[in-house]
Amino acid sequence: DVKVTQSSRYLVKRTGEKVFLECVQDMDHENMFWYRQDPGLGLRLIYFSYDVKMKEKGDIPEGYSVSREKKERFSLILESASTNQTSMYLCASSSWGGDEKLFFGSGTQLSVL
């Protein structure tokens, strides 16, 4: 069974903390994505990666960075968490040449206090 695993389901952090969200996929997918989901705004793309050590900015990269040192792992980093980064974060992966079908992880609900 294919799987995208996010390290935490719920996370509470304080303003100014550095936050790491981890995502691991076991499907040997080349593409990995980080989205955030907010009520009324839908899913918005933060960063994506099409290969190891490669990253591209999505639509809302400000305040975030990413790391992809291994094919199966894609990390999202909040350098200095702020309250407006309270959100549901979803990791997804897909394969090259497919129908752009995304496989999503179960999400991390991050609260920044």
Partner 1 sequence: QKEVEQNSGPLSVPEGAIASLNCTYSDRVSQSFFWYRQYSGKSPELIMSIYSNGDKEDGRFTAQLNKASQYVSLLIRDSQPSDSATYLCAVNRRNGGYNKLIFGAGTRLAVHP
Residues lying near partner 1 in the complex (CB under 8 A): 35, 40-45, 48, 50, 56, 58-59, 90, 99-102, 104-107
Measured CA to CA, the distance from residue 111 to residue 62 in angstroms comes to 18
Buried b (16+ CB within 10 A) or exposed e, 25-47: beeebbbbbbbbeeeeeeeebbb
Toward partner 1, which CB reaches closer, 14 or 57? 57
CB of 86 to partner 1, least distance (A): 17
Strand, helix or coil at 45?
strand
CB of 57 to partner 1, least distance (A): 10
CB of 43 to partner 1, least distance (A): 4
Measured CA to CA, the distance from residue 37 to residue 45 in angstroms comes to 9
Toward partner 1, which CB reaches closer, 35 or 64? 35
